[in-house]
């Protein structure tokens, strides 16, 4: 790691990509997170990068991610650029032995994720935490703890719901898997501590609210190496808000997270709560906790959280899921043996 941390150990972070997520991470590092500061921002759009950097004392704007990493004030990198740009940025960070928090996906496909996996192994130590933020959500963490302590016996099945109010222009069937179901893929692997071995996709009659050509909703079935089955309802044009939940069915009971609707009200003949409009609002606390944990671990010289292996495994399951979408058949997941570095 670089030597530019000040006497208090503050971590200088280069944020690569200043779109919606990148800008939110810049705000988070500047206003919420302790122990870190934004030292550099990089974006192909110089106006957007400059606008963000100008608001933060000591931050420098770049159009080249590598130049941002070479800024002497930078100790670590947060990658929030589009997925196809991740591999080059990760390899550049490895060449400088910089710690990285990389937003999902690690890379857009299994082949490039495998190249990143191999490059990190050549370093001989982990450098990457992948941004699967649901692992930092309070409800999902409580569910994980319950399953790990065996209070309700062995988990047998998981039921996931993933609903969005609507989708942006150009949203495709493949994005149903790669951008939405990827979270359930990671959560399933994490909660069950089990690899996904096969995928099947069922396609009911589509909603009239979906753009032409988009098969929405979809029901995705995962099988795991340990014989468990997981189903995921994807409904990304539901029209009423953003809902995510998970129910674990165990030998001696069930447990569920994701039904918290905030403040419950009774007024003027109505009762109920609210549904968040999108994922940023729903998982705001999880994003804060994720970045704070990354900063704290990095300052200790450690790496924790989802690894390059998790990013590679998710990419491999996504590829099987996209093939299952297209064929209507059960598709096996192809994974290499798990390297020692990630055990």
Collapsed DSSP state (helix, strand, coil) of residue 22: helix
Q: What is the CATH number of the domain that holds 17?
A: 3.40.50.720
Which band of pLDDT confidence, cut at 50, 70 and 90, is reported for residue 3? very low
Asked whether residue 5 is domain-assigned, the answer is no
Q: For residue 105, is the peptide bond before it cis, meaning its omega torsion is within 30 degrees of 0?
A: yes
For residue 98, being part of any structural domain is answered with: yes
* Number of domains composing the chain: 2
64 and 18 co-located in one domain: yes
200 and 273 share one domain: yes
Percent of the chain with pLDDT over 70: 96
pLDDT of residue 291: 98
pLDDT bucket at 262, cuts 50 / 70 / 90: low
| Domain limits for position 226 | 137-285+314-342
Q: Is 270's pLDDT higher than 90?
A: no
Q: Give the pairing of strands 243-250 and 155-163.
A: antiparallel
pLDDT 10s digits, 77-92: 999 999 999 999 999 9
In terms of domains, do 101 and 220 share one? no
Query: How many H helices and E strands in the chain?
Result: 11, 15
First to last CA, the chain: 24
Q: What is the pLDDT of residues 173-224, one digit of tens each?
A: 999 999 999 999 999 999 999 999 999 999 999 999 999 999 999 999 999 9
Helices (H), 2-137: 20-31, 46-54, 65-69, 86-95, 110-123
Verify that 28 and 88 share a domain, yes or no.
yes
Q: What is the pLDDT of residue 268?
A: 79
């Amino acid at each position: 790691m670089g030597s530019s941390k000040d006497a208090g150990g503050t971590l200088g972070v280069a944020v690569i990509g200043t779109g919606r997520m990148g800008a939110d991470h810049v705000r988070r590092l500047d206003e919420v997170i302790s122990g870190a500061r934004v030292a550099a921002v990089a974006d192909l759009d110089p106006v957007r990068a400059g606008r963000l950097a100008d608001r933060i004392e000591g931050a420098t704007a770049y159009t080249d991610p590598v130049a941002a990493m070479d800024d002497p004030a930078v100790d670590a990198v947060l990658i929030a650029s589009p997925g196809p740009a991740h591999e080059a940025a990760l390899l550049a960070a490895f060449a400088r032995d910089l710690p990285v928090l990389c937003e999902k996906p690690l890379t857009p496909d299994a082949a490039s994720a495998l190249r990143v996996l191999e490059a990190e192994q050549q370093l001989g130590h982990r450098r990457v935490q992948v941004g699967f933020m649901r692992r930092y959500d309070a409800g999902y963490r409580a569910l994980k703890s319950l399953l790990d302590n065996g209070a309700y016996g062995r988990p047998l099945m998981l039921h996931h719901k993933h609903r969005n109010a609507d989708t942006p222009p150009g949203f495709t069937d493949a994005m149903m898997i790669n951008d939405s179901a990827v979270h359930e893929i990671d959560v399933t692997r994490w909660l069950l501590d089990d690899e996904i071995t096969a995928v099947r996709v069922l396609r009911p009659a589509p909603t009239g609210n979906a753009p032409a050509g988009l098969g929405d909703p979809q029901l995705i079935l995962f099988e795991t190496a340990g014989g468990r089955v997981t189903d995921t309802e994807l409904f990304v044009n539901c029209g009423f808000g953003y809902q995510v939940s998970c129910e674990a069915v165990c030998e001696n009971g069930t447990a569920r997270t994701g039904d918290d609707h905030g403040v419950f009200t009774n007024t003027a003949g109505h009762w109920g709560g609210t549904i968040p409009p999108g994922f940023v609002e729903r998982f705001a606390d999880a994003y804060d906790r994720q970045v704070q944990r990354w900063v704290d671990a990095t300052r200790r010289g450690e790496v924790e959280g989802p690894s390059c292996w998790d990013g590679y495994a998710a990419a491999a399951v996504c590829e099987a899921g996209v093939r299952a979408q297209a064929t209507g058949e059960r598709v096996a997941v192809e994974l290499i043996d798990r390297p020692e570095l990630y055990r």
